[in-house]
């Protein structure tokens, strides 16, 4: 089936069937889809918590304005952005880049010395760019990366016929407390409960409403 058909079928699920669970194999695919999501500089300055413990979901449900998707979903993906970016985050990614480029060198794709020099310059430029942002701007920038990842996760879910519903309606500070994020430099940013729609979720039968193409796009 085409990706467009999959997107036409997806909707923001309002009621999950609590008895239907996403398989471990499918969750592994969803995790890999998130891992492969592009991000600014490639740094992936976030962490994703996957909540399946019903006691924890019940607590989070109360801090999500009692919206049942949090309580009844199969798995709850909690995207947490870092509060501050530091040199350690960048150095960790640069190390991964060096490992990847070493493999490229071994296959003859790149000159080793030129590759090493480019990586050093890349890291230096990135540190300078991130370092000049104030705390609020840096946080907003890192939170945007979570939205790139959740978008890819939603599309992957749609393609696999797994239902989902993006969430911003929750109390972030309460989530951080319940999920014991104090001292981790992380804060909950956006949520995606996933699972399978309940048969009586009437929203699944509604016509999808979107802007027409000529109102959404303009060519110049």
CATH number at residue 10: 3.40.109.10
| Angle between helices 112-131 and 87-106 in degrees, nearest 10 | 160
As beta bridge partners, residue 191 has 78, 167
Q: Are the beta carbons of 187 and 80 closer than 8 angstroms?
A: yes
Contacts of 186 (CB under 8 A, 6+ apart): 46, 47, 80, 81, 82, 83, 176
- Residue 80 pLDDT class (50, 70, 90 cuts): very high
Do the domain assignments include residue 117? no
Do the domain assignments include residue 87? no
| Angle between helices 135-159 and 24-35 in degrees, nearest 10 | 140
Do the domain assignments include residue 34? yes
The 10s digit of each residue's pLDDT in 114-149 is 677 888 888 899 999 998 999 999 999 999 999 999
Residue 48, pLDDT above cutoff 70? yes
Top pLDDT among 3 and 108 is at 3
Residue 109, pLDDT above cutoff 80? no
Alpha carbon 161 to its chain's center: 18
Do the domain assignments include residue 160? yes
Do the domain assignments include residue 122? no
Three-state DSSP at 81 gives strand
Do the domain assignments include residue 186? yes
Tell me how far apart the alpha carbons of residues 198 and 190 are, in angstroms, rounded to a whole number.
Answer: 23
Which structural domain, as residue segments, surrounds residue 165?
A: 3-82+145-208
Do the domain assignments include residue 112? no
Q: Which of 93-102, 163-172, 183-192, 198-207 has the lowest mean pLDDT?
A: 93-102
Residue 52, pLDDT above cutoff 60? yes
Do the domain assignments include residue 164? yes
Strand pairing category for 75-82 and 163-164? unpaired
Q: Is the dihedral of CA 65, 68, 69, 75 positive or negative?
A: positive
Look at the chain and report how many structural domains it folds into. 1
For the whole model, what pTM was predicted?
0.93
Tell me how far apart the alpha carbons of residues 163 and 193 are, in angstroms, rounded to a whole number.
Answer: 8
* Number of Cβ within a 10 Å radius of residue 171: 15
């Amino acid at each position: 089936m085409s990706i467009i058909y999959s997107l036409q079928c997806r909707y923001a699920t309002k009621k999950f069937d609590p008895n239907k669970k996403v398989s471990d194999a499918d969750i592994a695919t969803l995790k890999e889809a998130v891992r492969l999501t592009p991000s600014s500089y490639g740094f992936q300055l976030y962490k994703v918590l996957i909540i399946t413990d019903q006691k924890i979901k019940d607590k989070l449900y109360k801090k999500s304005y009692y919206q049942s998707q949090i309580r009844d979903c199969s798995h709850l993906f909690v995207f947490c952005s870092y509060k501050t970016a530091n040199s350690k985050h960048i150095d960790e990614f640069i190390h991964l880049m060096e490992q990847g480029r070493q493999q490229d060198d071994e296959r003859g794709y790149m000159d080793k010395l030129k590759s090493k020099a480019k990586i050093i310059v890349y890291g230096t430029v990135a540190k300078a760019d991130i370092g000049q942002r104030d705390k609020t701007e840096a946080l907003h920038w890192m939170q945007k990366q979570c939205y790139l990842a959740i978008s890819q996760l939603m599309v992957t879910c749609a393609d696999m016929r797994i239902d989902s519903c993006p969430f911003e309606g929750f109390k972030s500070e309460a989530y951080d407390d319940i999920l014991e994020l104090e001292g981790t430099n992380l804060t909950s940013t956006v949520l995606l409960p996933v699972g399978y729609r309940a048969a009586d979720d009437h929203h699944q039968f509604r016509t999808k409403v979107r802007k027409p193409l000529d109102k959404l796009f303009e060519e110049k």
